[in-house]
Amino acid sequence: MLNLRPCISRRAPSLTLCAVAALILASLCPLSRSFSNSRTVELASSSAHGNVYTAKRMAYVVSLNSSAPRFLQTDQLLREFGFEVSIVEPFFVGETRYKRTLSNKFALLTAATLISKGVEPWGYVFEDDIFKHELALDNLSSLIESEMESTTFQYLGACALNPGENQVARNMCGRCAHAMGFSKYGASELLRFANLQEPKLAREKVPRDEEYLDVIVQGWCETQPSGFRVVGPLVKSAKGIFGHYGLFLQDRTNYESEIDKAPLDD
């Protein structure tokens, strides 16, 4: 078996041998085992406020740098919300947009793997550039209560596919992977679906070959009779991007996408 542990603490500037080995593993075994080598570091945290919903919930934050302002903002926000926080550091980072997208996908799937193997019934996955919708009244207690509305997955922030056509609803299929909730069963189901060689998804790739995790989640969502629940306001934030809704949104006012600023592949 290929051993990727020497790769974990190094951030390679391009698709190194370590990353190639990871991709080979991904083609040979289920994703739930392939991406468990991304580094996770548990950080200082606070639990839910003392009331009937006192169960803990872990927030896994995908980030390259736990000292960067974008991560520190996200970490503070999530801890104040009531989460415990762990950082998931990608085990490789490419120079091009395609390779960075793959890196992000693998790190997000690592978080899903940790949730599927965890002790809590639900876990949450975030990217490191979020803010809370200014109209959101949710806290950890209400979020845990909302878990009763689903057995698999919740969007905590979503991009509507056709926001100008009245497609925004409490249950829908959207894009964006910056804020997601998974039950243990749901995380396992995503890992299974992400390893399939059919059907073709929105970008004409099968799940196993699709580099954007939000497109994979959209395809998974479309197999569900009623779509997935969106937690939080279904109105635009004054600070947010048009067409984006939910409890947590991407803070593009302060932080640009690390993927989008990378050069395109030749």
Digit-coded pLDDT (tens) for 231-261: 999 999 999 888 899 999 999 999 998 888 8
Summarised one tens digit per residue, pLDDT across range 129-151 is 999 999 999 999 999 999 999 99
- Amino acid 7 reads C
Summarised one tens digit per residue, pLDDT across range 203-224 is 999 999 999 999 999 999 999 9
Could you give the CA distance from residue 51 to residue 202 in angstroms, rounded to a whole number? 43
Write down the pLDDT at residue 167. Answer: 66
Those residues whose C-beta lies under 8 Å from the C-beta of residue 225, and which sit 6 or more positions away, are none
Q: Which residue has the higher pLDDT, 2 or 176?
A: 176
Mean pLDDT of the chain: 83
Q: Is the pLDDT of residue 3 over 60?
A: no
Torsion angle of alpha carbons 200, 202, 208, 213, nearest 10°?
Answer: -160
The mean-pLDDT minimum among 45-49, 89-93, 113-117, 148-152 falls in 45-49
Mean pLDDT of 46-56: 48
- Amino acid 35 reads F
Q: Report the percent of the chain where pLDDT is more than 90.
A: 68
Could you give the CA distance from residue 67 to residue 49 in angstroms, rounded to a whole number? 27
DSSP assignment string, 196-212: ---S--TTS--GGG---
pTM above 0.85, yes or no: no
Which of 13-22, 36-45, 63-72 is most confident?
63-72
Q: Which residue has the higher pLDDT, 176 or 161?
A: 176
Q: Which residue has the higher pLDDT, 175 or 28?
A: 175
